[in-house]
Amino acid sequence: MISRIECDIDTITKEQLLLLADFYNVSTDYILERTQLKKTCGNWQPEWKAEQDCHTLIQTFNLLNADQQDMVWTVISKFLEQEARRQLPC
C-alpha cells in the first residue's frame, strides 16, 4: 500500500492515513510532510488536569511572537533561579 502511494499509483484514504499515524505513533501532519514534529500538541489526549494545563500552556505559548516568547522564557528563568537558590542548604 505505502509504495503504491509513494509512487503516485494509488491515493490514500482518510482512514488509511489515520491507521498509519496510529501505527507509527506520529501525527498525520508528519506523514503528509506538513511538519517535522512527529507528534503535535493536538495529538495529546490529556487524562489529568495537569496535562490539560500543560497542553493549554504550550498552545498559548505557540501563539506568541518571538519577542513575547523570549520575554516568557526570561520570566521563567528568573523563577527557576529563585527556586534553586531557595532550595540551597543554608
pLDDT value at position 64?
92
Which residues span the domain enclosing 90? 44-90
Both 31 and 69 in a single domain?
no
Check pLDDT > 60 for residue 8.
yes
pLDDT value at position 2?
67
CA atoms within 13 A on the CB side of 76: 8
Write down the pTM of the prediction: 0.41
Both 17 and 38 in a single domain?
yes
CB neighbours of residue 21 within 10 Å: 19
Both 52 and 70 in a single domain?
yes
Encode pLDDT of 10-65 as tens digits.
Answer: 788 888 888 888 888 888 888 888 877 666 555 445 455 667 778 888 889 999 99
